Amino acid sequence: MAVNYSVLFVHGDGRWVAERVAANRRDLTRTTAGWRVMRLFNRLLDGGADALALLSGAEPPEPQTAGPDGLAASSVPGTCPAPLG
C-alpha cells in the first residue's frame, strides 16, 4: 500500500493557487514485471472523514458509482499498465 496526498496548482493573475488537494491510496502487488497498482483511491481533502481515513491507512469504503459532482467514481480497479519501480 502507498498513501500520499497531491496538490494541483493553477496559475492566474500572477500567482499560483492550490485548486485541488486530495488524499491518495494505491494498493500494490509485486509481479515478475515489477510493482502494479491493483486498486486506486482518491478523495478530496475537504475536511471530510473519508480523506482523513484514507491518509491514516484505513480500508476505503466500496467504490461509488458517481461523486456528488456527477463524475465517475474515484476508485479504479485493475492494474497500472507500467511498472512503478
Name residues whose C-beta falls within 8 Å of residue 81's C-beta, 6 or more positions apart in sequence: none
Q: How confident is the model at residue 64 (pLDDT cuts 50, 70, 90)?
A: low
DSSP string, 41-74: EEEE-SS-HHHHHHHTTPPPPPPPSB-TTSPBPS
pLDDT value at residue 63? 58
* pLDDT, averaged across the chain: 78
- All domains of the chain, ordered by start, with CATH? 2-77 (3.10.450.50)
DSSP state of 1: -
Model confidence pLDDT, tens digit, residues 14-39: 999 999 999 999 889 999 989 998 88
Cα–Cα distance between 24 and 79 in angstroms, integer? 16
